[in-house]
Amino acid sequence: MLLVDNEAYITTIHTSPGILGSGCNVTAAACGATPVTSCTASTNASYGVYLYADDRHLAPTAHRLMGDNAYNKIKARW
C-alpha cells in the first residue's frame, strides 16, 4: 500500500512556486470570487498558470500535478 499525501504536496507547491516554473500564480484564483454556477475566467486567464480555480477549488493544473505526483510515486516503487 502506498499513501500519497496530496495536501502536503499542494502545500509544498504553494510555499515553493518555483516548482511550477516561471509565470505560475499560486495566490490568485483563475475565476472571480463571486459565487456563480460557471466560471468566468479572469482576463487572459490560463488554467496552466493558476493553482486555484476560485477561493476553495483547485484548478485543473493542480489536479494534473497531483495525478503526476501519485503516478511518479507508484512508478518509483516498481
Mean pLDDT across 3-9? 92
The most confident of the ranges 7-11, 16-20, 34-38, 47-51 is 7-11
Tens-place pLDDT, residues 36-74:
556 655 555 566 788 888 888 888 888 988 999 999 999
**37 touches 58 (CB < 8 A):** no
Q: What confidence score (pLDDT) does residue 34 get? A: 60
Q: What confidence score (pLDDT) does residue 5 get? A: 94
- Classify each residue of 39-76 as buried b or exposed e, where b means 16 or more C-beta atoms within 10 Å of its C-beta: beeeeebebebbbbbbeeebbebbeebbeebeeeeeee
